[in-house]
Structure 1
Amino acid sequence: MPLSPASTPDEIVDHLRSLGSVENRACMARCRISTERALGISNAALRPIGKLLGQDHDRALALWATGIREARLLAIFTDKPKQVMRAQADAMAAGFDSWEVVDHAAHLFCAAGLAHQIIPAFAADEREFVRRTAFSMIATACLHLKKEPDPTFLGWLGLIEAHATDGRNFVKKAVNWALRQTGKRSVVLHAPAFGLAQKLATSPDRIARWIGTDAVRELSAPRTLERLEARRR
C-alpha cells in the first residue's frame, strides 16, 4: 500500500520494514551508527518518504515511540518544530543511542527554539549522547540560526572550554565541531574561537590538545580566512 500524508504509524513502519537491507545495516555499523534497532534504510531513501508524509506532530510522537531507527528519523524529519517542547526533548534524549539520531535531533531542537534551554542543561548532563546533543546544537545553531546574535555564541564558548577534556568519542568530536563552527560563523566570533583553540592546543590534557589543534588548523586555513573576509565586505 503506497504511503500518503494520511498513512498511520503502523502503515509507515510496515513500509519501512519492506525496505530494510542487511547490507545497509553493515555499512551503518562501519560508520559507528547504532544498528541494534535499525532496519537498514539510508537517509537518502528516508528523506523523500518524510517529504511525502509531511509534518504531523502526533504521528511523529508515535513513530518515535516505536524505537526503530528509521521510524525515529522520520519522526524527527516530520515533526512540527513549533509543537516540540522541552519535555519532549528531554524524553527523546533519554533514548538517544547513536550520534546520527542526535545530530538530526539537534536540528529539530534548534528549529523549535529550544537552544537556550537545552544547550547548557544537556552540556551538564553526564550521559554521552545527551552531552553530545548540546554541542551538536551549538554547531547546528552556527549554521542555521541566522538571527541569533554573536554574544550567544560567545557565551557557549565557555561550555566548549569546560567540556574539552571529555574523552568520550562522540562528545569530543561534537565539542571540536562546535568550536570550529563558532569560529567560522562570523568575523566577530573568529578571534575568540581561535584564541580558545590555541589555548586548548597547549593544554596538558590530551583530549583538549586534540580539539584545540584540529580547530586551529581549520580556523587558520586560507579558505576559512577568505570566506570570513568576504563576509566582512
Structure 2
Amino acid sequence: MIAPSSSAADLIAHLQTLRSQENIAGMGRFGIVTDTALGIPTPQMRRIARLAKRHHARATELWQSGIREARILALYTTEPKLLTVGEARSWAAGFNSWEIVDAAADLFVKARLEQELVPAFAVDEREFVRRTAFAMIASAAVHLKQEPDETILAWLPLIEFHAKDPRNFVKKAVNWALRNIGKRNLACHEQALALARRLAEESDRTARWIGKDAVRELETAEVLERIAARTKM
C-alpha cells in the first residue's frame, strides 16, 4: 500500500511490481530512454505520486536510484520550496531523456529557480541540459501568470541566439518556448510573432524551421481567438 510514510525503498519495490516489458518496447518508439525503465505509464505514475505525497529527502533517494520511474516519482514528489539550485544542477547533470527534462522544467519553475537556471542551462553544451532551459521558458510562459510580461519577453533574445542549434531535442524546445510566449497574451504574441517571422527568413535551416512552425501556430484562428478572449477579460 502506497502512503505518505512509504520509504524510497518501499516505493521502488512497488514500482518494480508494475514492470511491463510491452510498455518498455512502446516507450522506445517515442524516443524515451528505456535502459532503466519499468514501463509504467505517466497517468499511473501520477496516481502513485498523489498517494505518496511530497517528501523532499525521499525524493532525493528516489532520484539517486537511477530508475526511470523512480526519477519521475522524485520530480513529482519533491517539495519545490526546498529544492536548491545546487540540487537542480546535480539532477540536470543526469538528464538523458526529453520526458525527464520536461517534468523537471515544470518543477524548477515551481521552485522559482528559472532566473538563475535558464541562462546557465542555455549556455551549457549538453543537449538535454540546454533543452531544460527552453522547456523552463515554455513552462514559465504558461504557469507564471502573475509574472510581468517583461520577464517572459526578456527570454526572446536567448531564443533567437540558440535558434540555430540543430540538435533535435534543443530545436524542438526552442520552438516550444517561442510558441508558448506567443500564446501568453496579446503583447507577448506580437513580439513572439515578430521574432518567429524573422527566424522564418533566416538562411539557417534550423532557425527557419523554428520560425515557420511558430508562425504557423501563432497565426491560427484558434490562437488568435484565445488571445482576443484573454484581452477582453
The two structures share one fold, judged by TM-score above 0.5? yes
Aligned-partner residue type, residue 62 of structure 2:
L
Distance, in Å, in 1 between the alignment partners of 2:93 and 2:159 is 22
Q: Displacement, 1:104?
A: 0.3
- TM-score, normalised to structure 2, is 0.98
Distance, in Å, in 2 between the alignment partners of 1:152 and 1:42 is 35
Aligned-partner residue type, residue 134 of structure 1:
A
Counterpart in 1 of 2:53?
54
Residue identity over aligned pairs, in percent, reads: 55
Counterpart in 2 of 1:145?
144
Q: 1:75-86 alignment to 2 at 5 Å?
A: 75-86=74-85
Counterpart in 1 of 2:208?
209
Counterpart in 1 of 2:125?
126
**Equivalent residues, number:** 232
Q: 1:50-199 alignment to 2 at 5 Å?
A: 50-199=49-198
Please state whether the residue corresponding to 2:31 is helix, strand or coil. coil
Q: Displacement, 1:8?
A: 1.1
Please state whether the residue corresponding to 1:185 is helix, strand or coil. coil
* Runs of 4+ residues deviating >2 angstroms: none
Q: Displacement, 1:37?
A: 1.1
Distance, in Å, in 2 between the alignment partners of 1:13 and 1:140 is 28
Where does structure 1 lack aligned partners over 5 or more consecutive residues?
Answer: none
Aligned-partner residue type, residue 127 of structure 2:
E
- TM-score, normalised to structure 1, is 0.98
Instruction: Deviation per CA, 1:198-226: give whole Å up to 9, x if none.
Output: 00001000000000000000011111111
Instruction: Deviation per CA, 1:150-177: give whole Å up to 9, x if none.
Output: 1111110011000000000000000000
Q: Displacement, 1:59?
A: 0.2
Distance, in Å, in 2 between the alignment partners of 1:132 and 1:189 is 22
Q: Displacement, 1:30?
A: 0.5
Instruction: Deviation per CA, 1:126-182: give whole Å up to 9, x if none.
Output: 000000000000000111111111111111001100000000000000000000000
